[in-house]
Amino acid sequence: MNNSAVKIFEVGPRDGLQNESATISIETKIDLINRLADSGLKHIESASFVSPRWVPQMADALQVMRGLTAKNQVVYSALVPNLQGFENAIAAGAKEVAIFTAASEAFCQKNTNCTIAESIERFKDIMSLAKSENIPVRGYVSTVLGCPYQGKVAISQVAAISRQLYEMGCYEISLGDTIGVGTADNVKRLIDATVRDIPVQNIAVHFHDTYGQALTNIYAALQHEVRIIDSSVAGLGGCPYAKGSSGNVATEDVVYLLQGLNLTCGVDLKKLVGVGHWISAILHRTNSSKVGIAMNMRR
């Protein structure tokens, strides 16, 4: 494979913890993020500034962001749905944000109470303020390979929305298989369609592992020169507005795959496995990383 450097975008503290039913203390969240940074992860989505009525697990985002021990070269970003979220994220010290919409109308409505067009309209204010404040903005498109409410999603629709976000100024577009239904051939078609408008180095894949396809799908994306992968330590997570969706692909499993392919990501796998084991125990949850389980058994 060409270009051996891979960027891992860790979403465990946000996508992972947003879906946990257990109450998690602010100290534990901060500890998790600091440990992830210590394992070598350089991009950590640390919280979301959404309505606490919609996602109560992220209600303490301000305290979490303010409590972090900022490490050199680590970007602690925050997910925001609207201008209010953006302003709160900046006030909390976020140096990068991510906005999110969907390729399916039904999901956009359930997740953010607006149409896709309205979500894009909301982003305009964010983008202009972000530009004036020099804040990089990442853009997520959800339900790129299927929707829990409307089923099939046209890849042409995914490509069109991704392009809109890119043209608005998002520096990176993360393609989210929110409910993990995609398979490798569909991933290839997806990447083929999006790279017509967006350079492949600006495309990330964000795969939930609901149907156990995430690693295979990542491999397909890597073969298409995608080099940005979203993942979650111990496979934490899911989306509260996508019933039955399980966690993201586990970061430990992605790092192991990359090592086998001689691709570099700068993560210390042993340390990361320790973090996955630690947070799984705190959450009283089975570790969803197969690599994590295997390496722990050998210790």
49 is an interface residue for ligand HMG by CB under 6 A: yes
236 DSSP assignment? -
Phi then psi for residue 110, to 5 deg, are -70, -35
Nearest distance in Å: CB 208, Mg ion: 6
82 is an interface residue for ligand HMG by CB under 6 A: yes
Nearer to Mg ion by Cβ, of 182 and 274: the residue is: 182
DSSP assignments along 43-70, one per residue: EEEEEE-S-TTT-GGGTTHHHHHHH---
Residue recorded with tokens 């270009």: 3
Nearer to Mg ion by Cβ, of 15 and 253: the residue is: 15
Using DSSP's 3-state secondary structure scheme, residue 205 falls into strand
> Judged by CB under 6 A, which of 28, 34, 51, 63 binds ligand HMG?
51
Provide the mask over 183-222, with x wherever binding to ligand HMG is found by CB under 6 A and - wherever it is not: -----------------------x-x--------------
Nearer to ligand HMG by Cβ, of 88 and 289: the residue is: 88
Q: Which stretch binds ligand HMG (CB under 6 A): 106-114, 130-138, 164-172, 281-289?
A: 106-114
Q: Which stretch binds ligand HMG (CB under 6 A): 1-9, 33-41, 110-118, 185-193?
A: 110-118
The CA dihedral of 88, 91, 96, 101, to the nearest 10 degrees, is: 10
Q: What's the token pair of residue 23?
A: 């109450």
CA end-to-end span of the chain: 32
Question: Catalytic annotation on 114?
Answer: no
162 is an interface residue for ligand HMG by CB under 6 A: no
**Contact by Cβ (8 Å): 227, 236:** no
172 is an interface residue for Mg ion by CB under 5 A: no
Nearest distance in Å: CB 242, Mg ion: 8
By the 10 Å C-beta count (0-12 exposed, 13-18 middle, 19+ buried), 278 is classed as: middle
Phi then psi for residue 97, to 5 deg, are -130, 165
How many residues of this chain interact with ligand HMG, rule: CB under 6 A? 26
Q: If residue 116 lies in a helix (H) or strand (E), which one and from where to where?
A: helix 116-132
Q: How many helices (H) and strands (E) does the chain have?
A: 11, 8
Provide the mask over 3-22, with x wherever binding to Mg ion is found by CB under 5 A and - wherever it is not: ------------x-------
Q: Could you list the beta-strand ranges (E) of the chain.
A: 7-10, 43-48, 75-79, 96-102, 137-142, 172-177, 203-207, 228-231
Provide the mask over 15-44, with x wherever binding to ligand HMG is found by CB under 6 A and - wherever it is not: x--x--------------------------
Q: Which residues are catalytic?
A: 239
Q: Binding residues for ligand HMG, per CB under 6 A?
A: 15, 18, 48-51, 54-55, 81-82, 84-85, 88, 100, 111-113, 140, 142, 176, 178, 206, 208, 239-241
